[in-house]
């Protein structure tokens, strides 16, 4: 993938008739953005009906605190290009081991490996539906 292709990447997000991003489409788009920037142990958890503040949780492990920040920044930027703005973001400062980007129906959590293990949201939401998401990287590099 060339630098120009990376710069132009806009994830596909479906919108409902009210102009609101469709939650599952948004969760999958977030997964793909994080996957493209070397996010690890990616997971999309369907939590609608299990908790009352979001429908999907996207989990991602980063290689360092710098990578945590880069992934969160890239997520906001790329989804912004697709027409979706984050409601809020927690953990903006340098050295954060965990940043949450809140899109309302979708919450993306980007952790260092140590923070993900410590907070263990995977176990906390072990009864959630695990949503399979195909990477879009392979298809693009073959084309």
Distance CA 4, CA 2 (A): 5
Query: pLDDT at residue 141 above 80?
Result: no
Residue ranges of domains in the chain? 3-130
Lowest mean pLDDT among 53-57, 94-98, 124-128: 94-98
Query: pLDDT at residue 22 above 80?
Result: yes
Q: What is the mean pLDDT of residues 97-121?
A: 97
Determine the CATH number of domain 3-130.
Answer: 3.30.460.10
Beta strand spans in 1-143 (E): 40-46, 56-62, 88-90, 98-102, 106-112, 129-131
Question: pTM for the whole thing?
Answer: 0.88
> Tell me, what's the pLDDT at 138?
59
Q: Where are the alpha helices (DSSP H) in 60-106?
A: 65-81
């Amino acid at each position: 993938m060339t630098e120009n292709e990376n710069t132009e990447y806009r994830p596909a997000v479906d919108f409902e008739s009210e102009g609101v991003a469709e939650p599952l489409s948004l969760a999958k788009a977030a997964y793909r953005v994080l996957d493209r920037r070397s996010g690890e142990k990616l997971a999309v958890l369907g939590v609608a009906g299990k908790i009352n503040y979001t429908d999907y949780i996207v989990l991602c492990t980063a290689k360092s605190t710098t990578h945590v920040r880069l992934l969160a920044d890239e997520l906001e930027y790329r989804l912004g290009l697709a027409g979706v703005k984050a409601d809020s973001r927690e953990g903006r400062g340098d050295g954060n081991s965990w940043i949450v980007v809140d899109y309302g129906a979708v919450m993306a959590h980007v952790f260092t490996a140590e923070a993900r293990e410590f907070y263990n949201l995977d176990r906390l939401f072990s009864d959630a539906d695990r949503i399979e998401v195909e990477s879009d990287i392979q298809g693009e590099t073959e084309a």
